[in-house]
Amino acid sequence: MYKLHTNCRVCGNPNLKPYLDLGEKPLSNNLLNEPDEKPQLFPLKVLLCEVCGLSQLSIVVDPEILFGHYVYRSSMSQGYKDHCREMAVELARKYGLNSESFHIDIAGNDGALLHEFKDVLKYNKCLNVDPARNLADMNEAQGIRMFTTFWGVAAARHLNSTDWPKSDLITATNVFAHVDSVYEFLEAINLVLNRNGVAIIEFPYIKDFIDKNEFDTVYFEHLSYFSIIPLDYLCKRIGLELINITHHDIHGGSVRCHIAKFGAYTRNENVDMFVEMEKKEGFNKLVLYTNWANDVWNTVVQFRAAMDQLTFRNTVYGFAASAKGNVLLNCAGITQAQMKYIIDETPEKLGKFSPGTGIPINGMARLTEDQPDYLVILSWNFATEIIEKCKKAGYKGKYLLPLTQEIIR
């Protein structure tokens, strides 16, 4: 079900240094059918390559197990859809995209991003390349063609051998961290990209990961935790060029990286500014990460203490049966004794149980009927949206942000 990962996936360095060990954990998105079901556990450990600066997991779980049937749906978040709309408007203006442009979205999930682009640009042709067979009907209902496969050289060569044109735009949001062979991922992009086309790769940024102590985003789907240094190195190896970077608040802090064929565009000076900043602050040095790992366990202990204090006299539910929430709950040893239910809106998750904790997952009606005293926001990256949604639904209790232990009334 998994293989050991011993050599850096960017530069090949065999001397990777461990700095965060979260212990044996279940697959966060593999929800259970029964509360006492025993999920298989895997070692959740992060290693650093001091040659190129890439952080990466010590194992790679079979991607078919993780992504063949995927319960996460992008369009469940209005915040993410707004982010996609902003991206469509910005990229259309910057690169002169129009209704004739051909757009490939890699790992486009339920079509949330392509839906916004289609609405802005009135595309005639676009394609979602995603391995989740259960999402195909959702894409087709929106007029989005879906190629049900993992992105790679084989998929790119298949597209080149058919009547699909070269791509004017390729987007890959929140997928690059999931990829084992990052070299092949970018090589495949190079194969299908127009000479003047642009690829947009967006992923959670490691500076935010460290600065905001976002350790709960360490789970088995996230194989890598990228800074700009290794990405820039990788692009140069393949004949691509990192031409622009912008920082965005989505998912706790992400970077949007603009990539083109070498020489097609002038490289923005902010790329080198990111690289120099990362070197200056030590994002390619082990000491920064080992110091941070101590903060992680302090946060876990503080969260557990906050939960024990709250549950002594109050009822506490969670909101969002998310991967990051599952990591946090398992690290802190939270069970149904402390958190009675997890509330979620994704239909595929309702009636299931959170792996490792056995906490049942229920819909919004449970929250408004029971009116628990506290609601722990497990998808803290969408906290504002979740609070507004719960208040609108009629929830009158308080909210807890788990990583900071901040209480919102």
pLDDT digits (tens, 9 = 90+) for 145-193: 999 999 999 999 999 999 999 999 999 999 999 999 999 999 999 999 9
- Please give the tally of structural domains in the chain: 2
- Model confidence at 31: pLDDT above 90: yes
The CATH number given to whatever domain includes residue 378 is 3.40.50.720
Phi, psi of 37 (to 5 degrees): -65, 135
pLDDT at position 26: 97
Q: Which tokens sit at 240?
A: 């691509």
Share of the chain above pLDDT 70, in %: 99
Distance CA 387, CA 366 (A): 16
Residue 67 lies in a domain: no
Asked if residue 191 belongs to a domain, the reply is: yes
Whether 151 and 272 share a structural domain: yes
% of the chain at pLDDT higher than 90: 91
pLDDT value of position 71: 67
pLDDT of res. 70? 65
Q: Say if residue 273 is in the same domain as residue 387.
A: no
Q: How confident is the model at residue 136 (pLDDT cuts 50, 70, 90)?
A: confident
Within-domain flag for 11:
no
Q: What is the SS3 assignment for 103-131?
A: EEEECCCCCHHHHHHHHHHCCCCEEEECC
pLDDT tens-digit series, residues 333-354: 999 999 999 999 999 999 999 9
**Looking at residue 64, what is its pLDDT?**
87
Regarding whether 273 and 202 lie in a shared domain, the answer is yes
More confident residue, 14 or 63: 14
Amino acid of residue 98: N
In which band, very low, low, confident or very high, does the pLDDT at 67 lie, cut at 50, 70 and 90? Answer: confident
Answer whether 267's CB lies under 8 Å from 241's CB. Answer: yes
| Range name among 67-71, 91-95, 346-350 with the lowest pLDDT average | 67-71
Alpha-carbon gap, residue 207 to 217, rounded angstroms: 13
| Confidence (pLDDT) at 77 | 84
Q: Which residue has the tokens 């935790």?
A: 225
Average pLDDT, the chain: 95
Q: Per the domain annotation, does 306 fall within a domain?
A: no
Tell me the pLDDT tens digit for each residue of 14-28.
999 999 999 999 999
N residues, the chain: 409
Give me the pLDDT at residue 59, please: 98
> Domain range spanning residue 254?
74-284
Shared domain check, 276 and 143:
yes
* Structure confidence by residue, pLDDT tens digits, 105-122: 999 999 999 999 999 999
- Per-residue pLDDT of 232-250, as tens digits, reads 999 999 999 999 999 999 9
CB-based burial, 83-106: b 16+ in 10 Å, e otherwise: bbbebbeebbeebebeeebbbbbb
Are 388 and 260 in the same domain?
Answer: no
User: Does residue 67 come out as left (phi exceeding 0), alpha (psi in the -120 to 50 range) or beta?
Assistant: alpha
